[in-house]
Chains A and B, each alone.
Chain A
Amino acid sequence: MGIKTEKEIINQEIAKRLMAVKAQTRGINMKNGATFIVKEEGPEGVKKMEKALKELGFPLKFDKVRSMDFYPAGYLSVFFLLTKKLFGWDDQKIRELCGFAVSASLVVRIYMKFFHSVEKMIKKAPEIWREYFTAGELEFLEHNFKEKYSLVEVRNFDLDKSFCVCMEGFLENITKLTINSKEVHCREIACTFDHYSSHKFLIKWQ
């Protein structure tokens, strides 16, 4: 494998490709990321991120981002790849970032009425996805209380592998809130970047 160079993580070419993906997402997702950077790296971290985005040709001021407005979804992956480049974060950190977004954002405030019922959450999840992303679909394929697992599928949404890691963290934490268990694990078991037709996430809990 060898040591990856910075160019291999993110560069203008990669950024351009990601930003060209025909999908948009709510600004809240970017704001959550910025909040997590402040928590981990301090306010200077956000400045570094803004500078790097500008250098890549996609400037963004986080304090100007409107939570409920739509922005190119490519920003998410560019953002994740830049955290690896700028702060040396790994996949686990990105998983944490997306898990953090569950508890520290408008998401909780807006969807808290669904957190008391797994059934309601399963039913509502595709709708929430559509409210937050203009492309792709999310569906609960299976939910087994007895065996304590769920299977979630994300179709037609292919940004970058880093987004798959983010989804793991997000689904893990949202499940924690819904089933009142700290022992929840989510792993992607099928990925379009591994030649599967869709992304499949297996959520297990104790």
Chain B
Amino acid sequence: MAISEEKKISLLLDDLSALEGYIYDLFVFAPLPICFVSPLGVILEANPAFEKLANYEPYAGSGESLNKLFKEEDAQSLLKEALEKETIEQKEMKFFPKGGGEKIVLAFTRKRKGEKDESVGFFLGLLDITTLKNTEKELKEAQTALLNILEDTEEERRKAEEEKNKTQAIITNFSDGLLVFDKQSSLTLMNPRAEEFFGIKKEKVIGKSVSEFSQISQLQPLATLLGGKLKKIFRKELEIGEDLILEVSTTEMKRGREHLGTLVVLHDVTREKMVERLKTEFVSISAHQLRTPLSAIKWTLRMLLDGDLGKISAEQRDFLEKTYRSNERMISLVNSLLNVTRIEEGRFVYRPVLTDIKTITESVLAGFKDEIERKKIRLKVEKPKEDLPKILVDVEKISSAVQNLVDNAIKYTLPGGQITISLKRSGKGIEFRIKDSGVGIPKKQQKRVFEKFFRGANVMRLETEGSGLGLFITKNIIEAHGGKIWFESQEGKGTTFCFILPAKRKN
């Protein structure tokens, strides 16, 4: 059946409407801003995306001029180019939406032609790349900043490398052996000197803990000295074999309050120890050699003074007594030297017995009675408020210590001065205290009081006698008994020496 003309037109109109709807929907949907521009540069129609980009009210784009959306010269250039060419692709332009602001867009155009192939306008599509451009700019800035940082970092790395190399060189060439342990007490560094000391390669021990050292024969003595937890030690001697003595010190490495590890310094003191030993041996031998003739002189003088060899005149007696006293001092000095060498060689033998310190003190004081009277020194002995317990000491050595302290007090107290001695319980021990009103010890020299051969500058002017060994020996005796000795002194006003001995009971 033939379709009527009217029906055909109706179908065509339906199709046209459908097509119109399709074009409209596509135009409205398109997310890309699109408009149609007349050859005069007038926007004839703009889609919602274009209106949004240009900040137009809905349907308000029509009739607007391109000149208002771009710089005038850019708009004219675009217009000319778009009408000349078939298409323009990705022309970057500055876009100025209504109401202000600036965006960067990529412009795309496609020319439309009339019946006679003349240009009747063009489609203009815009791609807003403002964010992209800003991001690109930011990225470039970030890249530049990053490159600068990298450059700085590289410089810092180079400096750090240089520092590391320097430090490495110092560590490698350091004359002391160095061991570095981390927080977990595992060895992280061993320098060549330390390798040399122990005769071991670092590769065999790096990463091992101190406790694991005990399984390595060369490191056993060190492991014993350091203990499992790397205890803090200072200048402890460690004998490695027969001809190597090390002085070991540990130092905690910290950054702020953070514990980073422990540094162990191994200082070779073999030569110093050998010199010291030779010196001690020399003194010991010399003293021994001197003691025999001095004893012979002593007894000869004694015989002369006692008249065993015949009667002597008063003048002769006077000379002989002076000589006898000098010889006694010489013997005392030699004995002190011998004691010092025994202390240093560890041969100072102690024979402890349970005894009463009060008795020792009284006995010592009795020996100084004449001298105290001669110097008219007022001696005050303060009795303890309670009974003192007996203590376990080597009587001869403690007597010697007390004697040294009393002797010093008398020597350095001017005639008419005062000495006060007291004994009392102090905690779990007994405290001996001797206070004099003597010349005192200069403040600057107080640190050296217990050193060998030390004599205060002021006492050397006052009293020429004295070996400077008494306090060294005394300190060693007190400490060998587990005690402690100290003093307080003020130059010109006097000195107080104190020691405490633990009140141990004999088992």
Residues of A within 8 A of B114 (CB): 113
Interface string of B37-50 (1 = CB under 8 A from A): 01111101100000
Say whether A131 faces chain B, with CB atoms less than 8 Å apart.
Answer: no
- CB-CB nearest in chain A for B67: A180
Most interface-central of B39, B45, B58, B61 (chain A CB within 10 A): B45
Contact of B59 (CB < 8 Å), options: A103, A113, A178, A182: A103
Interface centre among B59, B62, B112, B114 (most CB of A within 10 A): B62
What residues on A are CB-neighbors of B58 within 8 Å? 39
Check B42–A177 contact: CB distance below 8 A. yes
For B10, give the chain A residue with the smallest CB separation: A69
From B14, B20, B63, B112, A112 is in contact (CB under 8 Å) with B112
Name the interface residues of B3-56: CB closer than 8 Å to any CB of A.
Answer: 10, 13-14, 16-17, 20, 23, 36, 38-42, 44-45
A residues whose Cβ falls under 8 Å from a Cβ of B: 39, 66-69, 100, 102-104, 106, 108-109, 112-116, 173, 176-180, 182
Q: Is the interface of A mostly helix, strand, loop or mixed?
A: helix
The distance from the CB of A120 to the nearest CB of chain B, in whole angstroms, is 9
Is B115 in contact with chain A by the CB < 8 A criterion?
yes
| Cross-chain contact B121 with A115 (CB below 8 angstroms) | yes
Known: A112-B121, A116-B38. A173 touches B20 (CB 8 A): no
B150 on the A face (CB < 8 A): no
Partner of A177, one of B13, B14, B17, B62: B62
The answer to whether B65 and A180 have CB atoms under 8 Å apart is yes
Q: How far is the CB of B38 from chain A (nearest CB, A)?
A: 5
Query: In the complex, which residues of chain A have a beta carbon less than 8 angstroms from the beta carbon of B14?
Result: 66
Interchain CA distance A182-B112 in the complex, whole Å: 24
Query: Which A residues are in CB contact (< 8 Å) with B40?
Result: 115-116, 178-180
Query: 14 extra interchain contacts, Cβ-Cβ under 8 A, other than A103-B44, A104-B45, A177-B62?
Result: A66-B16, A68-B16, A102-B62, A103-B59, A103-B62, A108-B36, A108-B62, A112-B36, A115-B42, A116-B39, A116-B121, A177-B38, A180-B41, A180-B65
Interface centre among A106, A108, A116, A177 (most CB of B within 10 A): A116
For the complex, give the distance between the alpha carbons of A44 and B23 in Å. 25
B139 contacts the other chain (Cβ, under 8 Å)?
no
Nearest B-chain residue to A70, judged by Cβ: B13
Q: Is B290 engaged at the interface, CB distance under 8 Å to the other chain? A: no
A68 touches which one: B17, B44, B59 (CB < 8 A)? B17
